[in-house]
Chains A and B, each alone.
Chain A
């Protein structure tokens, strides 16, 4: 079209020229208006929002327009960042009303700095049944610097991995315990169940069961015995306390015994008398024995005189020569 002769001021006419030109104009206007509306929508102009103020020590990296996420979903955007009177940074966030239900009184907000310096504001709501966050709420934001904690984290992770390795070794206590637990559960599934686990072997379990059986039999017999004892007690009752029982007879016997005791008392009195007489007899006997002592003394002196006499005779008698001592 550039090579047409410039002398011709009226080039070939185009059908419906003005309509087509108007169409182009309308298309451009539509595109522009549509783009403007889309961008406004994208920037949340048409959303009803509520305000949330996060207070941080350092707002570095936070930019106006960035998102606040909840479970990875953007639910709010930073509208303004300002410096408060006390020097803290105030991050003003607009949260659309429809997303505000995720924020609760107990929600926690974090400002996390990533490895490449990117910053993310995140919200966490542990208890979603708490009362919702009011409009204009001011919250402290927890700042976490990912790079600052990496060395600590690595050291802690290494320890953890070492412990885990030790735990999961083939000869570790945990493995042995798990083995035992498995054996125990196997036994639980066995014939004697938990009893087998408690006693350790089947024989003892059998014994215990046998003992239980015998105890049951014994209890049955004890029941019978108790019934018989009941009968016996009833009978004894009749025997002891009945009209012809032991007790009335005992009472009669006691009356008789009283009479016997009176008799015995009389008998004892007579015995006393007898004893007094016997005492008198004894006194006489003592006097007699005193006379006997005198008699014996006289007999002894007579004997001594006789012996003296014998001795005198023996000395004067010449038949006994050998009695003299001879000196040489």
Chain B
């Protein structure tokens, strides 16, 4: 590639565009954060839109996700407990279940689920509205499209991730208890102690930050890809797919960072 004159300049320009794209996303995130924290965003008209996005986004997938994650969790718990028992290490099985499922797998699964069911459709919808000039029309009416169309979708996406992760986490904890101890309250004290040993302050903090960042990434990135013509380079993939790739990259980074924080 370097044989062509000007290739180096092209590459430099691409890098700049890449950084520019990420900067726009971060800038949009900051704008939305400010809007989310300002009370005027929760005026009556806006609140209705927010409620609609939150309810229509989360409610239909909550039950499905809980069922699916319970099934997956049950299988994994069973595998871990039986394997650990066969090695005579059953006292570590519960810790491992809680760590693997609640701390690592469930937030990630919830984020992916929400990205596919809410984030990407929302992004496509916004992209169509933008291409049809609806956002501009709003702007001409004196309404901020960021506040009225984008913020509710982002908040609804973030809420959905946290909601799914919380529900599935609690259900998984209950399932783990039932799998190990059965339908009795006798093992509750010991189980509580094990959970307490897993959730050290550092682990809890990292878990919270990770879930929050995943929620933010899932709700923000597809929307940002729709609002701006982010650099597409020479790839021939669609903008939607590219947003998905970008999203997975960010999720991978967040997950890796949390693992580093937890285990190093």
The chain B residues found within 8 Å of chain A, CB to CB, are 47-48, 50-52, 54-56, 58-60, 89, 121, 124-125, 128-129, 132, 134, 159, 162-163, 166-167, 169-170, 190, 192-193, 195-197, 199-200, 204
A38 in complex: contacting residue of B60, B163, B166, B195, CB < 8 Å: B195
- CB-CB under 8 A from B166, the residues of chain A are 28, 31-32, 35
In the bound complex, what is the Cα–Cα distance between A198 and B183 (angstroms)? 65
A20 touches B200 (CB 8 A): no
Contact yes or no, A7 B132, CB < 8 A: yes
What is the total of A-B residue contacts with beta carbons within 8 Å?
A: 82
Q: Which residues of A contact B125 (CB under 8 A)?
A: 6
Contact present for A17 and B51 (CB under 8 Å): yes
Give the size range of A's interface with the partner.
20 to 34
A256 interface hit (Cβ, 8 Å): no
Scoring A residues 55 to 96 as 1 if CB is less than 8 Å from chain B, else 0, what string do you get? 000000000111100000010010000000000000000000
Q: Which residues of B contact A7 (CB under 8 A)?
A: 132
- Asked if residues B47 and A18 are in contact (CB atoms below 8 Å), the reply is yes
- Point out which of B163, B169, B196 has the most chain A C-beta atoms below 10 A from its C-beta: B196
Q: Please give, as numbers and ranges, the residues of chain B lying within 8 Å of A24 by CB-CB distance.
A: 54-55, 58-59, 159, 163
| Interface members, chain A 38-52 (any B CB < 8 Å) | 38-39, 41-44
A31–B167 CB distance below 8 A: yes
A24-B58, A24-B163, A28-B166 known; A39 vs B196 contact (CB < 8 Å):
yes
Instruction: Indicate with 1 or 0, residue by residue over A4-28, a CB within 8 angstroms of chain B CB atoms.
Output: 0011010100100110111011011
Where chain B touches its partner, the secondary structure class is: helix
- In the complex, A2 has a CB within 8 A of chain B: yes
10 A-B contacts (beta carbon < 8 Å):
A14-B55, A14-B56, A17-B51, A20-B51, A20-B55, A24-B55, A27-B163, A34-B170, A42-B195, A116-B89
Interface string of A264-297 (1 = CB under 8 A from B): 0000000000000000000000000000000000
A313 at the interface (CB under 8 A from B): no
* In the complex with contacts A6-B125, A18-B47, A21-B50, A42-B192 CB distance below 8 A: yes
Residue A1 at the B interface, CB < 8 A? yes
**Residue in contact with B192 in the complex, picked from A25, A41, A64, A65, CB distance below 8 Å:** A41
Interchain nearest-CB distance for A44 vs B (Å): 7
Contacts of A21 in B (CB 8 A): 50-52, 54-55
